[in-house]
C-alpha cells in the first residue's frame, strides 16, 4: 500500500478524510466523522486540484516571521475531492478559477501554495 504524503509532515501532498457511513469529506484530521460521528474515517490522498472559493490579501502580518512575506494572499479552495481547505495562493487569483497546489517554504515550513492550473 502506498504511503500518503502530507504537507504537515514536510512532504508534498494533502491528506483528507472521508466517512465510511455518510460519505462526508473533510480536511483536518479527526478520529471520527464530524457529520455523523462514525469512528475511524478513511484517509486519502488529494489531487491538489480545486476551484477558488474566496481570496484575501493580508497586508498586516500576524507574526514577526510573516512580516517579510506581506502582502500575501490566502485562498479557500473547494477541492475536486469535495472538501474545502485554506492555503496560500498567487496574488492575482480570482474566485471561480481552477487551481492546483504546489508547495513552498514559508517561514521555514512547507505549505500548500495554489496557482492556476496549467492548461
pTM greater than the 0.75 cutoff:
yes
Q: Would you say 112 and 84 are in contact if contact means Cβ atoms under 8 Å apart?
A: no
Assess contact for 103 and 88: CB atoms under 8 A: no
The ranges assigned to domains in the chain are 49-116
In the Cβ-directed half-sphere of 78, how many Cα atoms lie within 13 Å?
Answer: 9
**pLDDT classification of 1: cutoffs 50, 70, 90:** very low
Please state, in angstroms and rounded to a whole number, the distance separating the CA atoms of residues 72 and 57: 6
45-59 average pLDDT score:
97
Mean pLDDT within 29-36: 94
Whole-number mean pLDDT of the chain? Answer: 94
For residue 15, the SS3 value is strand
Q: Give the H or E element holding residue 66.
A: helix 64-67
Amino acid at each position: 500500500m502506498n504511503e500518503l504524503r502530507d504537507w504537515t509532515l514536510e512532504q508534498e501532498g494533502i491528506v483528507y478524510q472521508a466517512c465510511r457511513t455518510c460519505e462526508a469529506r473533510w480536511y483536518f484530521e479527526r478520529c471520527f466523522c464530524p457529520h455523523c460521528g462514525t469512528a475511524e474515517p478513511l484517509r486519502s490522498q488529494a489531487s491538489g486540484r480545486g476551484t477558488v472559493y474566496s481570496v484575501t490579501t493580508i497586508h498586516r502580518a500576524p507574526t514577526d516571521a510573516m512580516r517579510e512575506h506581506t502582502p500575501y494572499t490566502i485562498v479557500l479552495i473547494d477541492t475536486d475531492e469535495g472538501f474545502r481547505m485554506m492555503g496560500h495562493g498567487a496574488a492575482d487569483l480570482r474566485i471561480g478559477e481552477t487551481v492546483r497546489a504546489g508547495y513552498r517554504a514559508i517561514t521555514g515550513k512547507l505549505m500548500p501554495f495554489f496557482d492556476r492550473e496549467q492548461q
